[in-house]
Structure 1
Amino acid sequence: MPQTLTRDVPSAAEAHALGEEYVTALGKIINSHVRNEAAGAAVFDEPSISLAPTPREKWLACRMAMEEYGHHLKFNKLANELGLEDAHSRPPLSVFDYQVTSWTDYVMTKAIVDLAEIVLMEDLCECSYVPLRELCRSLMPEERFHVRFGATSARRLAADPATREEVRSSAHRLITMTVPFFGRSDSRNNEIFRAWGIKRLTNDESRAEFIRRTRALLCDDLGLDYPEVETRWHGTTS
């Protein structure tokens, strides 16, 4: 493992020239996005179309499903350029086991789970591998739109006594389920990512930023309480 890679890696050929460890580390990041972008579109966005209460909201749900599948295809292109193994040989993250059963549920996945994706993608916007860095930068406007839609809709739903408690319960469940999204506190993978300049932040630093932003949404914007979670996580995900 190098001290810390400080130069740009502009192509798949140069990534392979750096050696197997760099390509393997990149592969773990890219294939995770290949899996999870498709999973989010399939289990969150597609079901929401039938749950949406108005034609405009159905249109928005369709748009976000289309964009998430588009992200999947773009990450998959990077995977193919690097010659990575099949991304679907591993399951998506456990947060995608969440069952969306109402429009409020869906709104909160956008406000919370997509916010976790932004935190991770912001870090990759400084990645040493230029194709991954440029892709993440190009996708940020769509990701921010998804989170903005979720937060704006959540404010409206939380202001309605009929849906306020549903907003709260969905938010608590999703925040608790998303904490492992960032990986173990003692992750060897994360050490390698940072040594190769693929990531800058530790898993705990990313998790703390997610907690800070979701706390601001729930407590400051929506006037709700926040679930008890910790910035450290010692589960099995690396």
Structure 2
Amino acid sequence: MKTAVRLMDNVIDASWFPVSEITESVRNHRRIGIGCVGWAETLAMMEIPYDNDEAFNLAEKVTRSMYESGFEASVKLAKEKGVFPYADKSIWADKKDKPRNVALLTFPPSSGNAVICETSFGIEPFFALAYEQNVMDGMRLKNVVGIFTKKLKEYGVYSDELIQKVVQNHGSAQGIKEIPKHLRDVFKVAHDIDWRDHIKMQASFQKWTDNAITKTINMPSHATPDDVLGRK
């Protein structure tokens, strides 16, 4: 985090902005946004279901560690380069230790970074474990989540036929008896997870996140307005 905070702070000074108002705001607040990719893959590697209390607790623990180490790095950087100019107009005005940056963490989908790293998007669950897409000249390319393949092989149940079943099941492992129940629980995709658990995961990350989080909340087609509003 020490390196990431310094890097992102340097990016502010190296960046060009189209209008002076944006430049002024960015450099007066020095807001940065450090996040992650591959959360779903991390849980899958540890064989922790995404919609499990253990996953929610781990999310909070990881985010707290990121924030506390990031804040420490920002305070040290402030002693070297100075606090952000609007510090005296912020919640840090009366604090002894003021950071270089008004905020540190954010969790966007990071789809571009995730593709480059060949992992899952941001803090989202897997959207599909296996799927086919049309490419040139009518060819169809099959895509399979790497950690899913690895775990199937570890459990001795992998086969091309099994992967095709997952493709035909809209990318979900649910209901496929050849896949052990434990793995079916671990590898729930976005539309297999109750919307309440999507929110619980976001809340777990948000507790120690001082910027925004982007999170897709998947709901069934029969969801009601009361469901959307969180009413019982």
TM-score, normalisation: structure 2: 0.31
Query: Higher strand fraction: Structure 1 or Structure 2?
Result: 2
Bigger Rg, which one: 2
TM-score, normalisation: structure 1: 0.30
Query: Higher helix fraction: Structure 1 or Structure 2?
Result: 1
